A and B are shown apart, each in its own frame.
Chain A
Amino acid sequence: MRSYLGLELRRAFRNPAGMILLTGFPLALYLLWTKVLNVVPQGQRGDFAAYSMVSMATYGAMGGALFIGGAIALERSKGWSRQLAVTPLPPHGYVVAKLVSGMTGVLPSILVVLAAGAVLGGVRLPLWTWPALVVLIWLGVVPFAALGIAFGYTLRGQAANLAMMGVFFGLSVLGGLWLPVQAMPEGMRALAEYSPAYQAGSLGWRALDGQWPTGTGVGVLAAWTLLFAALGAWRYRRAL
């Protein structure tokens, strides 16, 4: 089990396509929002640089968590899970290795966007806020790892990746990671505030102002996590 986790961790950190998609893309978007486009008036630039830094770090981390399922789907369709089924590794050992390595692989995308915020975006925060942001954003995307696993055990191969691209895009837009929910019409905004990506983002957005997560926020995230984990466990058992 430990030896397999070691292999998965090494694989997570040398997958150039995955790293570019999940680190380079949020980074590029961040620089586009804050350095190239005139999204907000002059006076609010500093606030927006911090806000957008959290949004894009959450966005990248969310993708990394979701695409744990993409890797599972691909390895299932290529017969690797069939090979593992005839080793002493129990099936849950594979899921745990995927989850741990995938969630570790999420960290670089958080760190890179935060570093860009500090160095290029001129974001200035109390020292303790930086590690708090890393932890909060990282915890905030846990429900997406569970959702990804549910996808990974439902669809096979590229179909899972395509479906997850759609879900990734839809949930991140709805959650206000691309444009703030304040810009949305009333009805959509009400919906957005109960969406998992919005609540994941809120953990970091509130931390920027030195605020703790709200009870509602934690409750909504916990509810999504439970729901997605139940879905994932059900699909996983069906697929065995």
Chain B
Amino acid sequence: MRTAVELKDVSKRYGGTVALDAVDLDVGQGETVAVLGPNGAGKTTLLSIALGLLDPGSGAVRVFGRTPVEALHAGGVGVLLQDSGLLEDARVAELVAAVAGMYPRPLPVEAAMRAAGVAELATRRVGRLSGGQQQRVRFALALVGDPKLLVLDEPTVGLDVESRRALWQEVRARTAQGSTVIFATHYLTEADDYADRVVLLAGGKIIADGPVNTIKSLVGGTEVRFVFEGADASGFETLPGVRQVRIEGRAVALHTGDSDATLRALFAAFDDVREVHTMSTDLESAVVSLAGGAGR
């Protein structure tokens, strides 16, 4: 598999804080990669460095074998940034057409607007649109160059359910044609549903990197959740099968490799346990458990 994006031993500090710490990342052409992690984990820093918006403090970055800026100027990359502004006095179609003209082989403006769901807003001024509509305009700007690599930082923030689904459908259509997609998101179900691979960042380090199922199985097992009204909440970690205990107020979550054994012992040992339910580990609790472990 040929490489689309390659980061080698990239570190970045802001003053005393380390935003990225010796990150190695290879994204092959055609992959769909989700970058996940808590706030401040370094997701935006990682994407900014991969796009050449930020210089890495140390290490090397390549996009299609070139520097990120060269790759951008060659027209191989489409980007949706979280905090980019748009020209408020321009009409949607004008803006999309102006950006299309910067790329060597753009999509027809009409097609890009339709794909991003802004075709019916073509003659509206950007400043008059709602936040969600502006986000869709940003998506149109990312798509219109027909790029081989699409980088999306929190693409669905502010979108309603319908627009969110439409956006991911479009992303999927592009990956089906061999495009590479890298996205950062807070909605873990989006990573679960649309990414082939998850890169999990915490404290500027990659703490897990692999297919979604691999990430889930790193944590694996089942969660047993219940409300505990007793005074002494110690001793849960010694129950059979339990790997991790999380207590938030009266809510307790036990991460266990053998829920049957854990439950039997739990009822035998504690009287004040109520509202017990079990669930299989989803990506969210996998991430919380992995990122939480690294943060401590």
Taking Cβ atoms with an 8 Å cutoff, the residues of A that contact B are 1-4, 6-7, 10-11, 14-15, 75, 78-80, 82-83, 85-90
| Interface pairs A-B: 9 shortest CB-CB | A3-B101, A79-B85, A86-B79, A83-B84, A78-B85, A7-B98, A80-B85, A88-B102, A88-B75
Q: What would 6 more interface pairs be, CB under 8 Å, given A6-B98, A80-B87, A82-B81?
A: A7-B98, A79-B84, A83-B85, A83-B141, A86-B72, A86-B151
Q: Which residue of chain A has its CB nearest to the CB of B142?
A: A86
- A4 with B101: CB separation less than 8 A: yes
Given A4-B101, A86-B51, A80-B84 contact (CB < 8 Å): yes
Give 1 or 0 for each of B148-168: 1 = CB within 8 Å of chain A CB.
000100000000000000000
| Assembled-state Cα–Cα distance A34/B5 (Å) | 67
Q: Are B77 and A86 in contact (CB under 8 A)?
A: yes
Contact A82 B85 (CB under 8 A): yes
- Looking at chain B, what size class is its interface with the partner chain? 20 to 34
The CA of A86 and the CA of B94, in the complex, are separated in Å by 18
8 sample A-B contacts, Cβ–Cβ < 8 Å, listed by A number:
A1-B101, A3-B98, A4-B98, A82-B81, A82-B84, A83-B81, A86-B53, A88-B72
Closest to B98 in A: A7
Decide yes or no: A88 and B103 within 8 Å by CB, A7-B95, A80-B87 being known contacts.
Answer: yes
Chain B residue, CB-CB nearest to A3: B101
Q: Hey, which chain A residues are within 8 Å of B103, CB to CB? A: 88
Q: CB of B276 within 8 A of chain A?
A: no
CB–CB B73/A86 < 8 A:
no
For A88, what are the chain B residues with a Cβ–Cβ distance below 8 Å?
72-75, 102-104, 145
Which residues of chain A come closer than 8 Å to B88, judged between CB atoms?
A: 78
A111 to B142 alpha-carbon distance, docked (Å): 40
Nearest chain A residue, comparing its CB with the CB of B51: A86
Q: How far, in Å, is A134 (CB) from chain B's closest CB?
A: 27
Q: Indicate whether B195 reaches chain A with its CB closer than 8 angstroms.
A: no
B97 at the interface (CB under 8 A from A): yes
- Select B81's contact among A4, A14, A86, A90, beta carbons within 8 Å: A86
Residues of B within 8 A of A89 (CB): 102
> Secondary structure at chain B's binding surface: helix, strand, loop or mixed?
loop
Instruction: Specify which of B102, B103, B145, B151 lies most central, judged by the most chain A CB atoms within 10 Å of its CB.
Output: B102
Given A3-B100, A3-B102, A4-B102, also A80-B86 (CB < 8 A): yes
Does residue B233 face the partner (Cβ distance < 8 Å to A)? no
Instruction: Determine if A11 and B89 form an interchain contact, defined as CB atoms under 8 angstroms apart.
Output: yes
Which residues from A are CB-within-8-Å of B141?
Answer: 83, 87
Cα(A141)–Cα(B101), bound, Å: 31
Hey, which chain A residues are within 8 Å of B73, CB to CB? 88, 90
B86-A83 in contact (CB<8A): yes
Contacts of A85 in B (CB 8 A): 53
CA separation between A68 and B66, bound complex, in Å?
34
In Å, the complex CA distance between A134 and B94 comes to 31
Q: Which chain B positions have C-beta within 8 A of A2?
A: 101
Q: Does B232 contact A (CB under 8 A)?
A: no
Quick one: which of B72, B74, B75, B138 has the most chain A CB within 10 A?
Answer: B72
A3 touches B84 (CB 8 A): no
Give Cα distance in the complex from A80 to B98, angstroms: 13
Chain B residue at minimal CB-CB distance from A85: B53
Decide if B248 is an interface residue (CB 8 Å cutoff).
Answer: no
Asked if B72 and A75 make an inter-chain contact with CB atoms under 8 angstroms apart, the answer reads no
Is residue B99 contacting chain A, with contact meaning CB distance below 8 A?
yes
Any chain A CB within 8 A of the CB of B83?
yes
Q: Is the CB of A86 within 8 A of B84?
A: yes
Q: Bound complex: CA of A3 vs CA of B75, how far in Å? A: 15
Chain B residue with the shortest CB-CB distance to A82: B84
Q: Which residue of A lies closest to B85 (CB)?
A: A79
Could you tell me the distance between the alpha carbons of A76 and B221 in the complex, rounded to whole angstroms? 50
The verdict on B279 contacting chain A, using a C-beta distance below 8 Å, is: no
Q: Which residue of A lies closest to B101 (CB)?
A: A3
- Is A11 a contact partner of B72 (Cβ separation < 8 A)? no
Determine the residue in chain B with the shortest Cβ distance to A87.
Answer: B102
Closest to A7 in B: B98
Does B288 lie at the interface of the complex (its beta carbon under 8 Å from any beta carbon of A)?
no
Tell me if B261 counts as interface (CB < 8 A to partner A).
Answer: no
Q: A7-B95, A86-B81 are in contact. Are A1 and B89 (CB under 8 A)?
A: no
The residue among B89, B98, B104, B141 with the most chain A CB atoms within 10 A of its own CB is B98
Q: Which residues of A contact B138 (CB under 8 A)?
A: 83
Q: In the bound complex, what is the Cα–Cα distance between A184 and B42 (angstroms)?
A: 61
- Tell me the complex Cα distance, A7–B91, Å: 10
Q: Which residues of B have CB within 8 Å of A15?
A: 89
A6 to B207, CA, bound (A): 47
What's the nearest-Cβ distance from chain A to residue B140, in Å? Answer: 12
The chain A residue with its CB closest to the CB of B71 is: A88
